[in-house]
Amino acid sequence: MFFAKFSCIIKNNNNLQTFPYHLVEPSPWPILTSFALLTLTVSAVMYFHGYENGGYLLSLGFLLTTFAMILWFRDVVLEGTYLGNHTKQVQQGLVLGFSLFVISEVMAFFSVF
């Protein structure tokens, strides 16, 4: 009985979400960001060691990283604001995850001293 009701809900309205969490569509931005950061790192090493065109590659890596971050954050804002994928529980999870990340970085900083 429950499964018949559930399948009827899914067939009638594909946008109806019956649980507080969501799965986002696969995104190309993580792989673009990783290649941009690789370019930035390698070109910074080339620039510091005096290679020709190292400065141009460093600028390219910086621009690619900035471009990838803008596009990735744009998609996150669109998912949360216009698509409504970020429910209260998802927002609480994001805040908690970011808070734990900041706390771990502070603890790592203080462990140096």
Q: Which CATH class is domain 29-82?
A: mainly alpha
pLDDT tens per residue, range 76-98: 888 888 877 778 888 898 899 99
pLDDT band at 65 (very low <50, low <70, confident <90, very high): very high
- 75: nearest Cα among 5, 24, 1, 8: 24
Mean pLDDT across the stretch 39-45? 96
Q: CB-side exposure of 34: number of CA atoms within 13 Å?
A: 4
Mean pLDDT across the stretch 4-19? 52
Structure pTM?
Answer: 0.65
First to last CA, the chain: 62
- For residue 82, the one-letter residue type is Y
